[in-house]
Each structure stands twice: as C-alpha cells, then as structure tokens.
Structure 1
Amino acid sequence: MAEVPTIRWGIVATGMISSWFVEDLVLDRPDAPVKHIIQAIGSSALEKGQSFVSKYCPNSTPTIYASYEEVYNDPSVDIIYIGTPHAFHKRNCLDAIAAGKPVLCEKSFTINAAEAKEVFKAAADRNVYVHEAMWLRHRPLVHNLRKLLFEKKIIGDVFRSYIDFGMEVDIPSLPSTSRYKDLALGAGSLLDIGLYSLTWAMLTLDAGMPGNSEKPKVQASQTHLHGVEVTSSILLEYPSTGRHGIALSTTMGPGHPNCFGRVSGTGGYVELEGVQPSHPVSFTVFRKDENGEIPVKGETFDFPRVGRGFIYEADNTALDVLAGRKENALVPWSETIRVMELMDEIRRQGGTVYPVDRV
C-alpha cells in the first residue's frame, strides 16, 4: 500500500478546545487518509506549552514556543490551527496569512462579518488557504442525514427545524476577564453555542450546497444578564420554500439531555440525539403510519464518535492543503460570511454590541 501523506500542524493556544483537537490528531487510526504530526505549540508561556505537550502529546516532541509568531514563522509547520477566543481570531489569522501559512481557525470565525471579510481578503491577496473549523459540517452523521432529508425525502418535504442548545454558566460569579463575561472577548451564548443551533437549522433546511444556498430572513430576540447576552431565540424563514427554523441558545440552564432537535416533514419527523448539538451521536426517523396519521418510530442511525469528532475536519483540511486548494468545499468562505452576517443581524435585533462593532 502507498504511504499516506503527512501534514505538520502548528497549534496556536493551549486551552480546552486546542487540547480536544490535539487529542484527536494523535489518535492511532490505521485507516486515516493523512498522517498528522504535531510539529509546534505556541503558548503565552513556555511552562504552559510544556504542560500541554506532556499531557496531550505523550508520543511526540513538538517544538514549544512562548509566542504565536514563532509558530507562524516555523518553516517546518505546514498548517496553523487557531484555538484562541473569538476576539483574537482576526489578528491570529492575519498574522498566519502574512507568514504564508494555511489556517484552520475555530468558530466563531470572528466577532463579526466585517472581520471575516478582512481575513478572507488578506487570504485571497496572499493566495493562502483559510477554513473555519465548523466541525459539524464534516461529520458523517450530518452528511447521511442531509442525504436522507433532501435526496431520499425520508420524511417527505421538510418544512421546519427546531434546535436547542442550553448550558448553565454562572456568569455573575465569573471574573470580569472570563470569555463568558468580557464583551471584548465576544461573550454571550450566540457566538459560543448559538452558532451550533443556527448551523443545525441551516443544515436541515438548506437543500443546496454550501456557498450556493438561500439566505434566510431572520427575526431574533435576546436577553442580557450583567450586560452579557445569555439567551437568544432565532426564527429563520426561507422565502422560496416557506421553511422555518427555530434556533435557541442559552447559558441559563441545560437543554434536553438526549434530544436536542427535531426536523419536521410532511411525512414525519427526525429526532436529533446527543447530549448537545455540538456532540451528535444519532438520529431517529419517525414516519407516518399506513393511514398517514400518527408518526411511528422507525430506524435509528447511530454514528459513534471517533475520539471527540474533530478528525473529519482535520482530515479534510489536511487533504485540501496537500491538494493546493484555498477553500474547503463544505465550509467555503462565502458560507462563513453568510453565517456571520446572520449573527450580526441577530445581535442587531437583540441589542448585543461588542466593542469592535463600534470601530
């Protein structure tokens, strides 16, 4: 068998999301299409980087840097993964692009659409690959669900989708510097978890391919606590089909523990299952009985996670870069901008303003 290609990652930031991503990169996967190597780690302090490596890279010896710039400029690094808070994404992306490095940047991609457009313009000017790390869009579960919904029409014509993401965060007790409380860091449920609800709604209502989908109308309401948005309720409407999406997010309390969403069609519905919209594991189809009345439980489609589920976006990103592509087909730049513009409008209607919005 031919040897699989190798990609060398530079990891920027050593927080929780970076640790999850790296845990997946180092998994032993005999069938992996790419060999992932953790080449370099960038942290705010060498000690933090060393602690990260000892815990999450036990079988490798990446170079540890006490700055992100050294990771961008390391000639041994093929691609940069950015796991910093939302507010730093624009600067981190621009610095990596200036160094000519391909980028996989965590979501929310930036604070607002203007920042996203600035990043993509820089990438286009330098002919550099950039990809928003919306891992849901790469999951086999999502691909199979969309095929059943829009090609097989397993529940007839889809007309509504309902998604809820709830988690409990004791915002009043947090320090003012917490990313959950500091508006300068993009605090609020929408950019952190509401993005998942919004993405799920769009994935289950958009029959078109990413980058070639209708932009829905949006109506939104938000609630704030101590100046921070803690609940968002979003109604999407697709003018051409009349389809509606209901996307909810809150940091005031948990959502349903097993079923986070439902997609309704003229012939039944599909329940989306998992502890949260960010961690789907299965979906179950309910189709109308022989009389065309009460939906009856049918097949459950299980998709056990491999690791934490980041491997699919990591593999696809690596294959893109190795093939010389500048965008990812599942999350093209236009799709990231479409979602960012929707979130801008949701915040406008809900009254959430970040400092960067005023610049």
Structure 2
Amino acid sequence: MAEVPIPTCRWGIITTGLISSWFVADLVAPRSDAKARHVIQAIGSSSLDKSKGFAAKYLKDAASAHDPALYGSYAEVYSDPNVDCVYIGSPHGFHKRDCLAAIAAGKNILCEKAFTINAREAREVFDAAKQKGVYIAEAMWLRHRPMVTELRRLLYEDNVIGEVFRTASDFQMYLDMAGLPSTSRYKDIDLGAGSLLDIGIYALTWAILTLEPKAPAQREMPKIMAAQSFVDGIEVTTSVVLHYPSSGRQGIVSSTTERKNGASQIVATIDGTNGFVEVEGSAPSHPRSFTVYPKWTGDEKPQGKKYDFDRPQQGFIYEADNTALDLAAGRKESPVMPWSETIRVMEIMDEIRRQGGTKYSVDAA
C-alpha cells in the first residue's frame, strides 16, 4: 500500500518578535514525527531590515530552511500568492487589525493568543472569515500538546485520581513597570496591557482543560468571581475563582507581573478524590511533564508516576501540524480550538475584567 504523503503548509510570518522567533525555530527544527511539512515562505515586518535580520538569525542554520520572501510590510505577505497560511505573532492589541487585513486578502490564519481584546472583536473577526471563506484559528498551543491529550485521558477515561474537583494555576512574570518606557505595550491600555490577556490566559486554560471533560462545543460557562490590582492604571495582578454548577468543580486562577518565578516550578495542580496531579515546567505556558500521585493521607508526600514530555522543540509544532492538517482537509475551523471556544474564553476574560475593573477603549465600541 502506497504511503500517503504528508501535507505541506507554506507560512507567511507576521512580525519578527520573540513569539514569532519561537514559532519559526520549532517549524524548521529537525524531527522524526512530522505530521506535515512546514515551509517559511515569507516574512513581514515593519521594515525590510528587520525581516532580513530575522531570517539571518533564525533560518541560516536550518537544514530544511527555504529562502523566504522578505518584506518590509505585512500587506506584502498577505498578497503573496505562495503563502498558504499567515501566522500572526503581533501583540494582541493588533490582532483584530491584522486578522481583518489578512482575511480581506483571502489568507488562512493562525493567530496568537489572546485572540483579540474582547469577545466582540473576536466575533467580528470570525464573521469576516466566514464571509470570506478562509480558515482561522487561535494559536493556543497548550491545547494542541500531546501532554494535554494524555493528561485528559488519564483524568477522564482512566479516572486516575478519582473525581476531579479542583485545579489551581498561577503565572508569575516580573515587569519593572516604573522602568519600562512609555512606548512599551505593557503600559499601553489601548493595546490590552495587563497580566490577564498576556499571561493569565495560560493559567485559565489549564483550569478549562482539566476541569471540563466534555468537547469544547458542550462545555458550560462557569460562574466567575474575580479581583484585580493596578499600578499606574495597568492591571498587574488578577485572581479568579471559577465554579462549575453542574459538577461543583472549582478553578483557582491567578497571574501577576509583580513577581519573578524560578526556572522550574509546579505550574498547575489538579486535585481529585483519590489523588492529585502536578504539572511541572518553567511557566504555565511551558509545561514539560506531569506527575500523578495517589491521595496524600500521611505526613510524607506519596510516590508518584511521572510522564515526561520534554523535547527540543518548545511545542509550537503541534499547533502548526494541526493547522496544516486542517487546511489539507478543507476545514475552516480548528476542532481543537473552534471559534465558539475562543469566544467563550474571551467572554470569561471579559467578565473577569468587568469584575476586576480593567476597561479598554474598545470595550465601549
């Protein structure tokens, strides 16, 4: 029987910042388990020099690297007929603008999280994509990881810790707000500044992934209790309790830009009636492993079974593979992160901000 060839996806990369560098580095790294072939077809930035510098730094040593078209604008990437899908790595305050421009050009899109500033913007982007008939998905890479698939299987098929009743996740990242320049996106309220949309979304995602056993389309909206703290008008700390009325499960979600975390930590804890799980990594966005423990009843921590998912790539390759497979199958939405789920997460964060007091200019639009 002839081997079915894997699909090829030719990517146009928008912006040349840190998140785009991680994405590109993952795509061009050698691997033996590829589900798709990825080609960096084009790179667009605010200047041609930035695109040239990005390609020289991140593509020069890649054995599989293709010489991409280098552009000094985003529009040139959108109009490049050889680009199959655009990866948008701009700050979330620009996502609506960049998505609508790419959609207008008829391009498929994988857009970084947070997908937009609020749920209203997300609906506007999805409506435009539906009218144009293009694929678009939020690049919440946690949801695509094999680690998450295995963890959810253990929790809700094998019931390894009994009935799940609580998850806690905290994302810490220190920013010297007083020392940042006034031009920093971290201080620009119009660009969605604050810990919640930038890093808190990862802690929130851990709660959603481990407390909700059903498929995205069947998941309930939790009750939300939230508080936020501010420095110079910018939200720096968010604390949230999620409560699921149908099951009684609770999520404890928090984020702060006022504290630096260590290089290795427990990034999420899932509690069940017969045991618990600790997810290990450098941050909730960068998990490496998880350990399943029996119920802790004595003085000493019990022995657990570790599941290690550490590998050279950071983990962007999984969402890229799934995007390529979606496009090859003719899908317009990701089954892993469908449009309705992106909107639901944005609605949860809208409510957290409403209770906490964070208001962006686009909220009133």
TM superposition shift of 1:26: 0.6
Match of 2:81 in 1: 75
What code does the residue aligned with 1:243 have? Answer: R
Q: Please say if residues 164 and 247 of structure 1, whose CA atoms lie closer than 8 Å, have aligned partners that are also in contact.
A: yes
Residue identity over aligned pairs, in percent, reads 59
Residue in 1 that maps onto 2:294: 287
State yes or no: 1:127 paired with 2:130.
Answer: no
Q: Which residue of 2 aligns with 1:49?
A: 51
User: 1:100 is matched with which residue?
Assistant: 106
CA distance in 2, matches of 1:10, 1:74: 8
Cα displacement (A) at 1:176: 1.4
CA distances 1:195-231 after superposition (whole Å, capped 9, x unpaired): 0000001111000012221110101000000111000
Instruction: Give the counterpart letter for 1:282 in structure 2.
Output: S
Tell me which residue corresponds to 1:198: 204
2:251 aligns to what? 245
Query: Is contact 1:288-1:294 (8 Å) kept?
Result: no
C-alpha contact 1:165 1:254 (8 A) present in aligned 2: no
Query: 1:126 deviation in Å?
Result: 1.2
Q: Secondary structure at the match of 1:254?
A: coil
User: Which digits, 9 at most, give the CA deviation of each residue in 1:308-338, with x for residues without a partner?
Assistant: 1100000001110111100011100000000
* Structure 1 partner of 2:342: 336
Instruction: Answer whether contact 1:164 1:277 (CA < 8 A) is retained.
Output: yes
CA-CA distance at 1:30 after TM superposition: 3.4
* TM-score, structure 1 normalization: 0.97
AA partner of residue 349 (structure 1): Q
Distance 2:182 2:361 in 1: 15
Q: After superposition, what is the alpha-carbon deviation per residue over 1:227-251, rounded to whole angstroms, capped at 9, x for unaligned? A: 1100000000001000000001000
Q: In structure 1, what residue type is equivalent to 2:207?
A: A
Paired residue secondary structure (1:304)? coil
Q: Please give the alpha-carbon distance, in whole angstroms, between the structure 2 residues aligned to 1:288 and 1:97.
A: 50
Distance 1:131 1:16 in 2: 20
Query: 1-side partners of 2:136 and 2:276: how far apart?
Result: 36
After superposition, the C-alpha distances for 1:57-79 in whole angstroms (9 at most, x for unaligned) are 11431001111111111101000
Shift in CA distance, 337/93, structure 1 to aligned 2, threshold 3 Å: same
Q: What's 1:223 paired with? A: 229
Which residue in the other structure is 2:71 paired with?
A: 65
In the alignment, the residues of structure 2 paired with residue 255 and residue 63 of structure 1 have an alpha-carbon distance, to the nearest angstrom, of 39
TM-score of the aligned structures, taking structure 2 as reference length? 0.95
SS across alignment from 2:34: coil
Query: Offset at 1:98?
Result: 1.1
What are the Cα deviations for residues 10-42 of structure 1, in whole angstroms up to 9, with x where unaligned?
001111100110001111123312110000011
In structure 2, how many angstroms separate the alpha carbons of the residues matched to 1:114 and 1:333?
Answer: 13
> Aligned partners of 1:292 and 1:140: how far apart in 2?
33
AA partner of residue 326 (structure 1): K
> Matches of 2:239 and 2:341 in 1, distance apart?
21
Distance in 2 between the 1:81 and 1:309 partners? 15
Structure 2 residue runs without a partner (length 5+): none
Question: Any gaps of 5 or more consecutive residues in structure 1?
Answer: none
RMSD: 1.5
Partners in 2 of 1:350 and 1:7 — Cα distance?
41
In 1, the alpha carbon distance for the partners of 2:56 and 2:298 equals 59
Q: Secondary structure at the match of 1:159?
A: strand
Q: Give secondary structure in 2 for the equivalent of 1:211.
A: helix
Cα deviation for residue 4 of structure 1 reads 2.7
In structure 2, C-alpha distance between the alignment counterparts of 1:221 and 1:95, rounded to whole Å:
35
Q: Does structure 2 conserve the Cα–Cα contact (< 8 Å) formed by 1:269 and 1:286?
A: yes
What corresponds to 1:208 in structure 2? Answer: 214
Deviations 1:267-304 (A, max 9, x none): 01111111110010111111137x89987222111111
1:268 to 275, 279, 285: 275
Residue 114 (structure 1) aligns with: 120
Kindly provide the amino acid, as one letter, of the partner of residue 4 in structure 1.
I
Which runs of at least 4 in structure 1 moved beyond 3 Å after TM superposition? 291-295
Quick one: distance in 2 between partners of 1:28 and 1:294?
Answer: 43
Alignment partner of 1:259 is 2:266: yes
- Work out whether residues 232 and 248 of structure 1, in 8 Å CA contact, stay in contact via their aligned partners in 2: yes
Aligned partner letter, 1:276: A
Matched, 1:143 2:149: yes
- SS of the aligned residue for 1:316 comes to helix
What is the SS of the residue equivalent to 2:187?
coil
Instruction: For residue 123 of structure 1, give the secondary structure of its aligned residue in structure 2.
Output: helix
**Partner letter of residue 192 of structure 2?**
G
Alignment of 1:290-301 (within 5 A): 296-301=302-307
